[in-house]
Amino acid sequence: MLLWGVVVGLGCGFIGAYLSAYIAARWFRARQGLVIGVLTAANAAGQLVFLPSMAALATYAGWRVMALVLAVAVIAFVPILLLLMRERPADLGLAPYGAHAVVPSARPVGNPVAVAFSALAVGARSRDFWLIAGGYFVCGASTNGLIGTHLIPACVDHGLTEVVGAGLLAATGVFSFIGGTLSGWLSDRFDNRYMLFWYYGLRGLSLMYLPFAFDMSFYGLTLFMVFYGLDWIAGVPPTVRLLSGVVGQERIGIMVAWITVIHQVGGAAAAFLAGLLRVSYGSYLQAFMLSGILCIIAALMVLFIGAGRSRYEPEGIAAPAE
């Protein structure tokens, strides 16, 4: 519990999805949505590589071997990051993409914990912030918490092996890469509220379809994974774009970190409650249906967000996030 829940949880939190918002705000003035989409989609691409291979290792060599191989793979990337990555374009004497001048490399000041909670206090005064955060709570519940945690056990319940279940999740990663990248491109051009409405609504319908897909052979699940995969991370770029309209570019990094916390709380709640429902009723039907209903509610919520109603204009971006 301490190692997996606390230590691994802290490690995943430190390199969370909020980093994509920081990178996009610091290094880009144009095409921010596309950049966030590509960075988020890269996370999904990792599923394609690691999920089937790690599941096979755990099945045939044991979970300890799998954990060691994964740890070595992660450690191998550390020197690459240290050698090649830079904090800001100014460190290389470059202007952010789409800007016409080098932006001075201003360093953050003050206690980082106090700064983080101060930013939350400012953002929490906005109704739009809570509408966005509420939608992201449901996003975490319906992705990491439910499908990421319980799809493989649900497959086992219906006579499929763990490796097959992991393969389905990996296939989701392929379509997540496509959906996330395309969503980033679209978020630079269309109303992000309507994009989120369709993403959450269609995700809800796909989750309601899932319990019946298990009875339609492997092809029923394949259809679900294609449809659901395109939607899995597609909500991230429009969510970040809407949030930047609410809190401003200078706070977007830390505020994305805060809604990521809420996203993870939703995931943790769904992971526990779905397991509880499985034990109580002997099936995941109730969990999938409730999650689908939550997604429909989230789809309606985001229509009330006041930010991002007009088409995005790249020239209107201000200073980089710190």
Q: Shortest CA distance to 278 belongs to which of 269, 270, 287?
A: 287
In this prediction, residue 295 carries a pLDDT of 95
In tens, the pLDDT along 247-270 reads 877 777 788 888 888 998 999 999
pTM across the whole model: 0.78
Phi-psi region of 217 (alpha: psi -120 to 50; beta: other; left: phi over 0): left
Can you say how many angstroms the Cα of residue 116 is from the centroid of all Cα atoms in its chain?
Answer: 20
**What's the per-residue H, E or C state across the chain?**
CHHHHHHHHHHHHHCCCHHHHHHHHHHECCCHHHHHHHHHHHHHHHHHHHHHHHHHHHHHCCHHHHHHHHHHHHHHHHHHHHHHCCCCHHHHCCCCECCCCCCCCCCCCCCHHHHHHHHHHHHCCCHHHHHHHHHHHHHHHHHHHCHHHHHHHHHHHCCCCHHHHHHHHHHHHHHHHHHHHHHHHHHCCCCHHHHHHHHHHHHHHHHHHHHHHHHHHHHHHHHHHHHHHHHHCCCHHHHHHHHHHHHCHHHHHHHHHHHHHHHHHHHHHHHHHHHHHHHHHCCCHHHHHHHHHHHHHHHHHHHHCCCCCCCCCHHHCCCCCC
The interaxial angle of helices 252-281 and 127-140, nearest 10 deg, is 40
CB 256 within 8 A of CB 26: no
In this prediction, residue 321 carries a pLDDT of 41
Can you say how many angstroms the Cα of residue 281 is from the centroid of all Cα atoms in its chain?
Answer: 30
C-alpha angle 254/76/16, rounded to 5°? 15
The list of the chain residues with pLDDT below 50 reads 307-322
In this prediction, residue 322 carries a pLDDT of 39
In this prediction, residue 16 carries a pLDDT of 67
In this prediction, residue 309 carries a pLDDT of 44
